[in-house]
Each structure stands twice: as structure tokens, then as C-alpha cells.
Structure 1
Amino acid sequence: MPRPRSLTQAQLASAALAVIDRDGLSGLSMRAVAKELGTSTMALYRYVADRDELEGLVVELVLGAVDTSPPAPDTPWPDRVTVLVRRLRDTVGAHPGVVLLTVTHRHRSPGVLRWSEAVLALLAEAGLTGERRVVALRGLLAYVIGAIQLEHLGALSGAGTAAITALPPEEFPHTTDTARHARQVDAEQEFFGGLAAFLRGLDA
């Protein structure tokens, strides 16, 4: 008879997420997760085939927590899309190391698919069809994923902004001027200002 399983997929996903939160995505390995669980590396292969499957569990642990219920119907569709995006940002933003995994596993993660379906319903309501709706969804995903990475891994208001401000203004007049203004822009303003600009383009 096979040995009884003593770990659940939720435990595996939680341990892998703990590794990512602590050491970044580059620190994720079967060995690191086994150490987190206090078991052997080979023992993990009784539960998952490889790291790819483990990554999928992590994505679902995080994205499965995103509320995809329809926002209040008595508001304009861009506002409702913003609600869905805010929910995604708040959830993923707590675990920024997972952002790239959502790209890799977006086609098979139920959480990602449910969020995309909710957004697509609003884009359809706005009259976007066919190729235009394809571009709208992919553009929105590209903005959200990129903006979350920028916010957590290289925010404009940090040390990089100070370095850019110190560049010679005669050579980089617009860059240095923009960097000076960037110091006054917080993460919320930056993220949702960019999102609003994107949605205005869709609504045009």
C-alpha cells in the first residue's frame, strides 16, 4: 500500500509562498520548500511533479483569494474595472514576488481566469468586441503587472529618482525635471493615475 500523505497542497503552497516572500522568486526551489516544511526534498515529489506544479499552487493560493464578484452596477464601467484592479493589486501587492508567476500560469490558474472573466464582462458591456477586447484585456494585464513590479521592485520615488535628479540637466532636461516632480507622486497616485489614463483610452 502507498504511504499515507501527511502534507496537503495548501501546506505546500503556503511554505513555497513563505520562501518567496522571504527570499524572492529566485530563492524558490524544491529544497528550500522542503526545508521550510521540515522534510526531505525527495518527499515533496510525492505531492507535486516538479517546481512548475508547485508554482501553480502558489499562484492559486494568492490569486484564489481575490474577490471577483461584480462591483456595484450603478457606477460607470471604468470605475468597476478599477474596483477589480484594486482588489488584484491589494492581494498580489502583499506578495510581489509572485507577480511574474501570474504571467507564467495565467492560462491555467482558476483565480486568474475568474478575474479575467469578470473584467471581460465589463469590457463587453462597454462595447468592446473581437480584437479590440483582446488588446484591451492584454493591455490592462500588462499595465497592472508592470505597475505592481515597478511599485515594489523599483519605485520612481526611491533612490533611483534621486540619482536621476542628479543627472546633468543640460543633457537630460526632461528626465531630470520629471524626476523632481516624481518625488511628489505617491504609489496610489502613480498606479491609479496610470490606470485611469489607460481606461480613458479604451473609453474614447
Structure 2
Amino acid sequence: MDATPVWLRERRTGVGRPAERSRAEVTAAAIALADREGLAAVSMRRVAAELGTGAASLYRYVDSRDDLLDLMTDEVAAGYQLPAPDGPWLPQLLEVCRQGRSLMLRHGWLPELVLTRSALGPHGTDLLEHVLAVLAGHPADAGRKLEAFGVMSTLTAALALNELSGGSGARQRQGAYLAHVVAAGRHTHLTAALTGGPLVPAPLFDDTLSRVLVGLLGE
């Protein structure tokens, strides 16, 4: 398999009629399919059908389904609004995370890709550049700033995935099992945590990200 990122590969010209589609159209069709039917539905054959062509024609634009997934992830990153850095770093990074959460809730397949694949294309690189620009005056070293970007992406995806999958039914099942655990009496620390007084609600999205970023980068 070619290890060259898809954005650095020339499109194949093929034989016979000239290509009728563009890589952008292929990517848009894959995103529309994933939005409608989920990530598992995305295959070379299905995306080709969305475009009204044969699967073989897609190989002029991408080598594999992995290429499609990378293109999809990066294309969604075009949806970020990245103004010039201005003011304290934490509110600006939280705004990036909020935008990421919004994009992930809109494209429910995206958190899984962010958590399981490392794909940094043109739009993702613009996002990274913005985060580093926001942190340009921060005393942390470059490695810590790059780590902060990775943590922002991963934690935003994890929290968004929890929102997408944590419906009331799941919470009820979890509550029922925890009640069983407490009644069984074998997990003393967990029982004490659950029965020692009113539970504080889970922190909000901004609060979670703030505490993690401040812990990583300092005030």
C-alpha cells in the first residue's frame, strides 16, 4: 500500500474517456452517505453508486476506502471558522473545541474516525496552525503545544461520542447495574462514592476541556 498521503498523490488519468468527477465530488458523496447511513455504509462500491458510476472509476481519485475516510475527515475540518488570534488563549481554544463538537454532532460518524485514525490534511493543518498561533505567546514548549492540540481533538471526540451514544436507555441500564453492585456490597469504595451524599452533576463540556487544558499548559 502506498504510504504517501492521499493529498500528495497525483490523480490517475486512466484509460479511455477522461474522468468525469473530481476528488471533491467523491469526498462529498462519501460524506453524504455516511451522514445518511453511518460509516459502515461507506465503501468504494456504495460511493460510486452515489455518483452514478462504477467502483473502478473511483480508483482514479483514491486508492482505497482508507483514502476516502481520510478525505472525509479533513473535508469536515473545512467547517471551522478560524479568526485571527486575539486575547487570552483559553477562550480561543475552547471555541475551537466547541466548533469541533458541533461538527461531530452534525456528522455522527466523525468522532470514531478522530479517535481511531490519525489523518492530517490541508484543512486539519490549517486548524493546527491556528491553535499554535493562539498559543504563540504561551511559555509552554512546542511539544507541549502539539500535545494540547492532540488532547483537544481526542477529548472533544470522546465527549461528542458520549453525547451521541449515551441516550436515556443506556443511562437507565447503567443505573440499574450500579444499583445491583451497591446491593451486592463487594465494591466498598464505589458504594461509598455512590451513597455518600448527593452526586455532583457531570461537568459541562467547557469545564471539562478547561480543566484539562489548564492542567496541561498551566494558567
Relative to the length of structure 1, the TM-score reads 0.80
Question: Conserved in 2, the CA contact under 8 Å of 1:34 and 1:41?
Answer: yes
- Give the distance between the partners of 1:36 and 1:144, measured in 2 at CA: 30
Higher normalized contact order (CA 8 Å, seq sep 6+, divided by chain length): 2
Q: What aligned pairs does 1:36-185 form with structure 2 within 5 A after superposition?
A: 36-71=50-85, 73-74=86-87, 76-102=88-114, 104-107=117-120, 109-152=121-164, 154-155=165-166, 158-166=168-176, 167=178, 168=180, 169-170=182-183, 171=185, 172-173=190-191
Of the three residues 187, 197, 202, the one matched with 2:211 is: 197
> Residues 82-117 of structure 1: CA distance to partner in whole angstroms, max 9, x if unpaired?
11221222223211202333452433x111111112
- Give the distance between the partners of 1:161 and 1:102, measured in 2 at CA: 24
- Give the distance between the partners of 1:200 and 1:38, measured in 2 at CA: 50
Question: Conserved in 1, the CA contact under 8 Å of 2:74 and 2:119?
Answer: no
Identity in percent: 27
- Give the distance between the partners of 1:139 and 1:63, measured in 2 at CA: 16
- Give the distance between the partners of 1:23 and 1:31, measured in 2 at CA: 14
Aligned length: 194
Rg larger for: 2
Q: Matched residue of 1:96: which SS?
A: coil
Shift of 1:175: 7.0
- Give the distance between the partners of 1:137 and 1:47, measured in 2 at CA: 30
- Give the distance between the partners of 2:104 and 2:172, measured in 1 at CA: 27
Shift of 1:14: 1.4
Shift of 1:17: 0.8
Question: Conserved in 2, the CA contact under 8 Å of 1:62 and 1:91?
Answer: yes
Question: Conserved in 1, the CA contact under 8 Å of 2:104 and 2:157?
Answer: no
Gapped runs of 5+ residues in structure 1?
none
Superposition CA RMSD, Å: 2.7
- The amino acid that maps onto 2:67 is E
